[in-house]
Structure 1
Amino acid sequence: MKFQQYEKQTNTDWILVSSTKIQLKKPLVLVFGNRFLLEEAAVYEDVKNIFPDGEIVLGSTAGEIMLEKVYEDSITITAIEFEKSSFKVERANILDFDKDAVAIGKHLAAQLPSENLKHMFIVSEGSFVNGSALINGLESKNTNTAITGGLCGDDARFEKTVVGYNEKPKEGEIVAIGFYGESLEISFAQYGGWTPFGPERIITKSEGNVLFELDNLPALDLYKKYLGDKAAQLPQSALLYPLSVMQKGKKEPIVRTILSINEEKNTMTLAGDVPMGSTVQLMMANIDNIAEGALHAADIGMKNRKNKPELALLVSCVGRKLVMDQRVEEEIEEVIEIIGEQAVVGGFYSYGELAPFYGNKSCELHNQTMTLTLFSE
């Protein structure tokens, strides 16, 4: 693999972060950045001028990850030339599917040739998509292909997210990148580090990713009771107190954060499904435990690898970033310590992370986790 990385702040020129400038042939160009900056008309054209034959994927974030640093109000570019393997990119807009996440997932999966498909990486709109339903659609065709990626972000504003493929990014876009090649080695992992607390409650009424009742009581009222004064800052304050959800028949709990609330209906909309009958418990954060969780994710990702990773794509949750604040780069440093400094690191802070649990290929939607996808060829 060959790489080029660039970074740009507000009102500055593009800065080459790589040690030397080299010409890449038909690279995959991953552009992650602040939503307002990505919406500027000149940005896509700038990237196209730098990589005229590149396949350009753009996504808004809640923070950008490049090498050992975490950026804000910036745009980062990680361009990759695959020398022995190949990739294919497909896009669709969920607004053209009446916001049906399963349908758009099936459509995208059908567009990627299944023969020799090694892995799928997803860059999805993050404002209103049901992430777990999207996964169900994506896995409908290629059940043996692992999926990782993330739901794009908009810092802590939760106003809108934008995604684009070979054009200026816009609302509703979902991009699927398929990777192909016998020489390609890809591993992945996820881990959280949050601590459950308080009583366990049962979801007694829900529809998809909308939560109505816990223990036959309005879920939003109960949640506000726990938040106290912080209830006035919903939904942003919910990032600090996510829900641990143990579904019937599952071995591992998943973490869900709240995307929006409906005061009139007394409901909460979460990033993924919250099935009735599931057991729910509040979670809280300890900064040291979160950083340790990132290290644990890296340990899992490196298990059974034959080669050292050349590329690491990190997708971590905006909630982790808000909690860690000025210490946020510690979790990136923990990952690099395990995977090695030879790996080029890129990625973003998200509204939802996609990765299987350890030992599985079936993908899950996570919140408040560090996920990583490690590549070598």
Structure 2
Amino acid sequence: MNSHSFATQDPRDLEVKVDACINHQFQPTLAIVFCSIEQDISTIQVIFQQRDITCVGCTSAGEICDGSFFDQSIVCLLLDPEPSTFRIYESSPDQECTHQQAVDLGHFALSCFEEPASVVFSGGFSVNADNIIDGFKTAFGDLNRPIFGALAGDDLQLSRTLVFSNTAISDNALFALIFDNQKVRCEGIAISGWEAIGTVHTITRADGNVVHTIDDQPALDFFIKHFGYFSSAEIRKQSLENMSTQYPLQIIKENGNRVLRSPLIGNEEDGSLTLAAGVREGDQFRFSMSPGINVIDQTLTEFSTFHEKHAAADAMLLFSCKGRHSALGPFIGDEIKGVYEQWEKPLIGFFSYGELGVDDQGYCDFHNETCSLLLLREC
């Protein structure tokens, strides 16, 4: 499978670069596009409609192309798989239940291919990403599946995130690119590098992504007691960028897997703590923190280990948490470059509000503060 990746600052230049890639040896059938919420998505759609290229993508909180990252730009990956090896899924605009959207997506994938691999993009701020995971489990029966993707971003405006295809745009839907995994192999891994600290605690009362008590103490008070680095006045104006990057909760799953959940908002009135994704009463966790700049070395070491067993790729997608970017600052570029240089294949990605990816055992989950990599390879 041939592929080309590039970044651009506006749709006019996107059109020029798409045409420059097309020749008698490369006739792309698929375009994956990530772009700033400030870009003209309608014009982007027309570019691919006119060239009979299937398009899917979403808005972002920063864009990634090969070994670099950008702001308020457009990144595009052109591919030429056989059209019979992939499908696009768009959840019904009438279906607002995220769990049912994911169930429907899973059933659609199974109706298309015996062994589907799903690349999922979610728009909207009302999404509880754990409902996506639960929906997939309902549809597939288990989570030992090649499921990747991310929650769309909007340059940290925290107002409106979008998913799109050739003809549709939505701010409350699940869109997905479904591959026949027997024809286009999808392999990847999600890595955080965050280190667990302190003892194990228990979430004793929670409702979705709102944690009311930890160890039977008001969750916000518990958090402040451990990490009292802001005053009450500051709590009221905490945002995704300056709160979620500090000390995410490392949730210990029943199967032993660990996923990060970032604190977003502290509610002084009821003492609750809102996380970036859902948890359950009885979940155990340890707080975690970045080991500083060493997190990049640790992450790249883990990607190197993955590369030893999965060296072949035709193209790559990289979903990196915006909170991770905020925590690492400009050093995030070293991580992106380090991942790209291990494979040196066309790569695009974006900074997201949450990541879907698989662990080293192949189990899919939803993550925060994580870097999720997907390799695409024609079989």
Classify the TM-score, shorter chain: 0.7 to 0.9
User: Which residue is equivalent to 1:371?
Assistant: 372
The number of residues matched between the two structures is 368
Cα distance per residue 1:207-253 (max 9 Å; x no partner): 22221111222212333452522635413222222423333523122
Q: Secondary structure at the match of 1:73?
A: coil
Question: Following TM superposition, by how much is the alpha carbon of 1:25 offset from its aligned partner in structure 2, in angstroms?
Answer: 4.1
CA contact (8 A) 1:189 1:297 kept: no
Residues 283-294 of structure 1 aligned to structure 2 (within 5 Å): 283-294=288-299
Structure 2 CA distance for partners of 1:242 and 1:122, relative to 1, 3 Å: farther
User: Which residue is equivalent to 2:336?
Assistant: 332
Structure 2 CA distance for partners of 1:336 and 1:139, relative to 1, 3 Å: same
2 CA distance for matches of 1:84 and 1:96? 28
Cα distance per residue 1:60-111 (max 9 Å; x no partner): 1111111111011111111211159711111115x7334x322111111122
1 CA distance for matches of 2:18 and 2:147? 28
Residues 252-271 of structure 1 aligned to structure 2 (within 5 Å): 252-271=257-276
Equivalent position amino acid for 1:121 in 2: V
1 CA distance for matches of 2:286 and 2:124? 24
Equivalent position amino acid for 1:368 in 2: E
Q: Secondary structure at the match of 1:159?
A: coil
CA contact (8 A) 1:5 1:17 kept: no
Judge which range, 308-317 or 138-147, deviates more: 138-147
Question: Following TM superposition, by how much is the alpha carbon of 1:192 offset from its aligned partner in structure 2, in angstroms?
Answer: 0.7
2 CA distance for matches of 1:287 and 1:16? 41
Is it true that 1:347 corresponds to 2:349 in the alignment? yes
1 CA distance for matches of 2:47 and 2:113? 35
User: Which residue is equivalent to 2:79?
Assistant: 80
Is it true that 1:238 corresponds to 2:250 in the alignment? no
Structure 2 CA distance for partners of 1:242 and 1:174, relative to 1, 3 Å: farther
Equivalent position amino acid for 1:134 in 2: I
- Pick the aligned partner of 1:125 from 123, 126, 138: 123
Equivalent position amino acid for 1:105 in 2: A
Q: Secondary structure at the match of 2:182?
A: coil
2 CA distance for matches of 1:252 and 1:337? 28
1 CA distance for matches of 2:320 and 2:179? 22
Structure 2 CA distance for partners of 1:287 and 1:345, relative to 1, 3 Å: farther
1 CA distance for matches of 2:193 and 2:271? 30
User: Which residue is equivalent to 1:63?
Assistant: 62
2 CA distance for matches of 1:107 and 1:11? 33
CA contact (8 A) 2:246 2:289 kept: yes
Structure 2 CA distance for partners of 1:68 and 1:16, relative to 1, 3 Å: farther
Structure 2 CA distance for partners of 1:105 and 1:331, relative to 1, 3 Å: same
Structure 2 CA distance for partners of 1:195 and 1:330, relative to 1, 3 Å: same
User: Which residue is equivalent to 1:140?
Assistant: 138
Instruction: State percent identity of aligned pairs.
Output: 25
Equivalent position amino acid for 2:374 in 1: T
User: Which residue is equivalent to 1:8?
Assistant: 8
Equivalent position amino acid for 1:27 in 2: T
TM-score between both structures, scaled by the size of structure 1: 0.87
Structure 2 CA distance for partners of 1:162 and 1:91, relative to 1, 3 Å: same
Structure 2 CA distance for partners of 1:246 and 1:239, relative to 1, 3 Å: closer
2 CA distance for matches of 1:181 and 1:192? 26
Equivalent position amino acid for 2:293 in 1: D
Is it true that 1:105 corresponds to 2:90 in the alignment? no
CA contact (8 A) 2:200 2:286 kept: yes
Question: Following TM superposition, by how much is the alpha carbon of 1:183 offset from its aligned partner in structure 2, in angstroms?
Answer: 4.1
- Pick the aligned partner of 1:32 from 31, 34, 43: 34
Cα distance per residue 1:171-192 (max 9 Å; x no partner): 1121122111534332111111
2 CA distance for matches of 1:248 and 1:8? 41
Q: Which structure 1 segments of 5+ residues have no match?
A: none
Judge which range, 269-278 or 63-72, deviates more: 269-278
1 CA distance for matches of 2:56 and 2:184? 21
Q: Secondary structure at the match of 1:139?
A: helix
